[in-house]
Amino acid sequence: MIRENIDRVEERICAACRRAGRDRSEVSLICVTKTKPVEMLQEAYDAGQRDFGENKVQEICRKKPELPADIRWHMIGHLQRNKVRQLIGQAVMIHSVDSLRLAETISAEALRAGIRIPVLIEVNMAGEESKFGVAPEEVQELIRAAAQLEGIKISGLMTIAPYTEDPETNRPYFAGLRELAVDIGQKCIDNVSMSVLSMGMTGDFEVAIEEGATHIRVGTGIFGERIYMKE
């Protein structure tokens, strides 16, 4: 079932790339595996997937030893500073940096581990109260400050668009994130690249691809609906 779902998502990705005149290789699919058992992750792996996204540090740490070592784990959820130490060395990229304090902690822990970790700045494009992320007008200031930190490499921007039945309503947010990345890229700040745009989920990834996404994060479309249990 998972293989078929991935095929269907893959067709949608290819169609969106064609419409946008983009090459399929410009878009990375991150399989969002939160709440799903390792057996399902293994199925996605067997179908060729290597980029997996989780929103909890504990879940990455628990699943990673049970699965092949060449999986690239992406931290896509809100990150508490007291969990950063555990995460360093486990994730290839942190998509959800939304404060200087968090960036400082990540940098310090990465340096301590002798690595430099790519991070994205999470932007709350729609200004939703319920969402994390910095306001668009605060992004540049955060990036200029965080660019000084030697344990991180600022690699781009991420956004979680509002839940919607009509993906077209999210197009302005995706286009806005891209424009923000272009603006900041033109400032040529040391230690900052704007090459990654992490945007688009099951309901709206085609629109995100049309607007320049380099990384889409797809859960439900691959693994089905999530059931949240009490912990």
Ligand X SMILES: *Cc1c(COP(=O)(O)O)cnc(C)c1O
Q: What residue ranges bind ligand X (CB under 6 A)?
A: 32, 34, 55, 76-77, 160, 201-203, 217-221
What the block records as the tokens of 107 is: 């940098």
d(CA 106, CA 116): 9
Select 108 or 217, whichever has its Cβ closest to ligand X.
217
Q: Secondary structure of 20-81 in the HEC alphabet?
A: HCCCHHHCEEEEECCCCCHHHHHHHHHCCCCEEEECCHHHHHHHHHHCCCCCEEEECCCCCH
| Shortest reach from residue 25's CB to ligand X, in Å | 21
Pick the closest to residue 157 from 172, 176, 171 (CA basis): 176
Phi, psi of 135 (to 5 degrees): -70, 145
**Nearest residue (CB) to ligand X, 108 versus 201:** 201
Q: Which residue is nearest to ligand X (CB)?
A: 219
When the beta carbons of 151 and 200 are compared against ligand X, the nearer one is 200
Question: Using CB atoms within 10 A of its CB, is residue 107 exposed (0-12), middle (13-18) or buried (19+)?
Answer: buried
User: From the CB of 130, what's the least distance to ligand X, in Å?
Assistant: 13
Nearer residue to ligand X within complex by CB, 108 or 121: 121
195 versus 220: smaller Cβ distance to ligand X: 220
Which tokens in the block code for residue 4?
């078929």
In the complex, what is the shortest distance from the CB of residue 163 to ligand X, in angstroms, rounded to a whole number? 8
Q: How far is the CB of 102 from ligand X (least distance, A)?
A: 15
Q: Nearer to ligand X by C-beta: 64 or 108?
A: 64
| The two three-digit tokens of residue 23, written as one number | 């090459």
Q: How far is the CB of 112 from ligand X (least distance, A)?
A: 27
Q: Considering the complex, what minimum distance in angstroms separates the CB of residue 185 from ligand X?
A: 23
